[in-house]
Structure 1
C-alpha cells in the first residue's frame, strides 16, 4: 500500500521548491542588474529589493512561528517590508537571497521529516499546522516571485 503521508510530503516539497508552473526565486533574480534592484515602475508600489526583503521577512516569520512557540511576529504591515527602499548594496542583496534559501531549506527539512505531523495543530496557534504554513510559504513566495518577473519585464530586464 502506498505511503500517503510520504506522497503528500513529496508534493509539498515539490511546490516549496517552485515546482510545477512556477518560476523559482533563483530564476527570477538571475543576473538582475544592480542598478535596477531598487527601481520602481509607474503603477507598481514595490521595487525588486522591496519584494525580495518582503519574501525574506515573511518566510522567516512563518518558519519561526512553525517551530518556536515563543516567536514574536513583526508588526503588521510595516514589519514585513524593508526599513529602507533605497538601493541595496550587493552584499545586502546577496545576504537576503542567502537567508531566503536557508529558511526555505529549513521548512523543506521540517516537511520532509517523518516525525513532523503535518496535520497537527500548532499548540501556540489558532488552527495553523505545518502543512498549512508550508503551503502558505509556497503560495506567498510564488505570488511575489511572479511580481519580480513582471517588474523585470517592465524594466526591460527579463529575457524570455
Structure 2
C-alpha cells in the first residue's frame, strides 16, 4: 500500500473516531430532546449548543475546502448558538444527520486521490486539505468529549 493511500485511510479513521475512544455514532446515540437542552450548574453550554457548534464549524471547514467564494463567518458569534435547546425532536435529529452527512462529504474529499492533500487551498492563507481534515478530527474529538462529560453529569450516559 502506498503512503498516500495510508495517509488518507488514517485521516478517515481520525475523523470517524473509534480508535482512541468510541465512535461518534456511539457517543451521540440516544441523546434525548430533554437532555440536549438541559443545563448543568457551572457549565456555560448545553449538549445542544455543542452539537450546533460542531455542525456549524464542521460545515464551515467543508465549505472552506470546496468553495472558492468562501466567506469567513464572524467569530465567535456565528459559531455558537444562542438557543440552549433545539426547538423540537425534528431539529435535533436533523442536526445529528447533518453532522454525519457533512463528515461523509469531508471524508469523500480526503478519499478522492485527485485532491492533493498538501496543495494549498487557493483562496486560503496556506491551509491544505490535510490540515483541514486534521482540524475536523481534532475539533470534533474535543467537543465530543465535552458532550460525553455533560451526558454523564446529567445521567444520560
Shift of 1:73: 2.4
Q: Specify the SS of the correspondent of 2:70.
A: coil
Aligned pair count?
Answer: 157
Gap regions ≥5 residues in structure 2: none
Gap regions ≥5 residues in structure 1: none
Matched, 1:33 2:32: yes
Query: Are the aligned partners of 1:122 and 1:128 in contact in 2 as well (CA < 8 Å)?
Result: yes
- Return the TM-score normalized by structure 1: 0.93
Higher alpha-carbon deviation: 14-23 or 119-128 = 14-23
Higher alpha-carbon deviation: 32-41 or 5-14 = 32-41
Query: Are the aligned partners of 1:64 and 1:71 in contact in 2 as well (CA < 8 Å)?
Result: yes
Structural RMSD (CA): 1.2
Call closer, same or farther: CA 1:4–1:87 in 2, change over 3 Å: closer
Provide runs of 4+ in structure 1 moved above 6 Å. Answer: none
User: 1:28-77 CA deviation, whole Å, 9 max, x = no partner?
Assistant: 22112321211121121110100000000000000000111111122110
- Return the TM-score normalized by structure 2: 0.95
Higher alpha-carbon deviation: 64-73 or 136-145 = 64-73
